[in-house]
Structure 1
Amino acid sequence: MNSDAVVLRRAGSADAFPAADVWLRSFNAALPSVRCAHSDAEVRDWFLRVLVPRYETWVAVTGDRVVGVLVLNGVELKQLYLDPAWRGRGLGDRFMALAKQEQPDGLTLWTFQVNMPARRFYERHGFIEAERTDGRRNDEREPDVRYVWQPHT
């Protein structure tokens, strides 16, 4: 199935656990060397009690299955995770277009330094590296990098 058969829509409370499961599968597949700082149950609770009700959370759905999640907090792109089977099929590009549409004046995000596929993806979408840290401020204690996107004016 191609990404055109996938609907992007705002998440509701019923999407919290399926979105969290996408996050968990994606994190484990994309970041095998990074220690997940929270249990699966804690991640699911975080989606249910924090991300979905408090932030602008979007899901990618095909049929009745959630295959991607995007979370925005104003100009901060907090989360962008795809089911591993959906990587490289244009879904991330659709989410990025949506994020830029929602925040046309610019976006910022953090990703781990070791996540080279994500870094290439963000750079391909016009994000510029703005800062690197040693990871002391994130839960995983993993060196990270902040990216910024500003529209061309």
Structure 2
Amino acid sequence: MSTGTAAVELRPATPDDAAAVADVWLRSFATALPTVVRPRTDGEVRAYFRDVVVPLRETWVADAGGPGVVGVMVLDGELLAQLYLDPGWRGRGIGDRFVAVAKERSPRGLTLWTFQVNTPAHRFYERHGFVAVERTDGSGNEEREPDVRYEWRP
């Protein structure tokens, strides 16, 4: 079995992917953001991906074949709303490929939010040309966690 990124297909999500997408999100969030308190239960997260994200948002998956879905990206116009990778699949270029797709889909620019504690995400997005343009105290997000808004403009 190949674990290289060449074997990973980026494609639009289907309703059948919703459970796997939610599982990737849950594993990634728990690993990358262990100090951030989630306001939703695992079941609520799964229902949100099944009922809202996959059917109503532009949702992309990284499909590794045998292992299945190993990454998810959600676009909402110029907002890169979600980008999460299964922890075991980080550092393999999949996130880079997702950002390239996002830039192709939104060539005039993108914006995104990430938590201030997520310094690996800051480095990742800055490497891709995103610039921090706003910092908040977290009062505007469900987690009440200080965050950063990033923008990319071509």
Query: Structure 2: which 5+ runs fail to align?
Result: none
Distance (whole Å) between structure 2 residues aligned to residue 4 and residue 102 of structure 1:
21
Deviations 1:37-60 (A, max 9, x none): 110000010101111111100000
Shift of 1:19: 0.3
Partner of 1:122: 125
CA distance in 1, matches of 2:65, 2:112: 30
- Residue 7 of structure 1: aligned partner: 9
Please tell me the root mean square deviation across aligned C-alpha atoms, in Å. Answer: 0.6
Q: Identify the residue that residue 98 of structure 1 maps to in structure 2.
A: 101
- Which amino acid counterpart does residue 62 of structure 2 have in structure 1? A
Counterpart for residue 34 of structure 2:
32
- Counterpart CA distance in 2 for 1:125 and 1:29 is 22
Mapping of residues 9-88 of structure 1, within 5 Å: 9-64=11-66, 65-88=68-91
Query: Within the alignment, does 1:140 sit opposite 2:146 as a pair?
Result: no
1:148 partner SS: strand
Q: TM-score, normalised by structure 1?
A: 0.97
Instruction: Kindly state the Cα deviation for residue 17 of structure 1 after the two structures are TM-superposed.
Output: 0.8
The alignment-based identity, stated in percent, is 64
Q: CA deviation at 1:146?
A: 0.2
Q: For the residues of structure 2 that align with 1:46 and 1:127, how far apart are their CA atoms?
A: 28
Distance 2:153 2:107 in 1: 8
Shift of 1:62: 1.0
Instruction: Work out the CA distance in 2 between the residues paired with 1:37 and 1:125.
Output: 30
Which residue identity lines up with residue 52 of structure 1 in the other structure? Answer: V
TM-score by length of 2: 0.97
Aligned amino acid, residue 82 of structure 2: Q
Distance in 2 between the 1:99 and 1:133 partners?
24
